[in-house]
Amino acid sequence: ARRAGVEVPPRRDLPPPGAAAAAPRAAYSGATNGHGLSASGNAGNSGASSSIESIKSAVTSALSALRTRLSDAESSLSRREGELDAARSDLAKHEAELESCGSNFEYHQRVRLDVADWAGA
């Protein structure tokens, strides 16, 4: 779960690593069948169900956050593609303007040189 970027809260119904491995049976309420299950099949402690609920809550929260990020990324991508199209359009306009200005500049340079030759400067 950690590789997927999901934080899983530690289980509260288990002792921490290195603690006494065998928990006394008196810690569990109700009669159990030796596997932590009561005769009706339910967990002998409410810690397991609350742990599952906390995991479910964490996964739901992570999924919601991922969906939000996906939505943000999609809208950002759409906005950036629009900006790219506008930039390409501006570039084409400026290139055409530069081409026009360049040919006008060359014409005026030729006229200036012709006038300079004619005036003898």
Global pTM reads: 0.42
Q: What tens digit of pLDDT does each residue of 49-97 get?
A: 889 999 999 999 999 999 999 999 999 999 999 999 999 999 999 999 8
The DSSP-derived string for 24-88 is -GGGS-S-B-SSSBBTTSSBSSHHHHHHHHHHHHHHHHHHHHHHHHHHHHHHHHHHHHHHHHHHH
